[in-house]
Chains A and B, each alone.
Chain A
């Protein structure tokens, strides 16, 4: 297993990055990893990009910023943000799990710039990665009952992808610990659907 494992969770303010990085970091620490999470969320409430750098190692403590070219896994809640991180920190070895649903930047809404056609964008992402898993997490979350759990669908997908050496049960245990009791069932369902979707994807 590669050491360190470098991962970025990226999206737009309000998509629930922080909870996801908390779940991942806690799950990794249960598995005996030394963990650092670097977060930038100062302006997250203002619709900006939000990303968390997660660094896991059995040997030493790593810093909160991943060096260029060294990210192994990107979990993108938004496709443009996933692409941005791939270009900044990725390499042809990177694996991406991406929610294809766009969140339009304000300049796109204002007609000052264009959002690329989603198929083109996803093709480009596939072209620069070792593997790309497209998970319709917003759609799946709505089916589960609340679009808000889009982030937990993605945690499930990450667990189901096999990209991380962390067993399903550990994720489930951490979710039980960090999610408030009244929302637990919804989140467990979201995790399960995400997990199964990733497992069943044809990865040709």
Chain B
């Protein structure tokens, strides 16, 4: 079981499509996506942008390659230090 977080906010820095994003510990990758310029997680079959929809691991809109593992859902993945996130947007 995780320990209760202390009052001081701990920060982590990850990279989303090469861009560094610093967020409080506990932030999901899907939430961190909004701190980049766009809230786009992928392109549909005609190239139009899509973003996270369900937030619960159901819709598969927020899939990305995270630390080399393809098809990971950003909404179920907490941000970690030095994490490398690549979307197909």
Question: Does A associate with B in a complex?
Answer: no
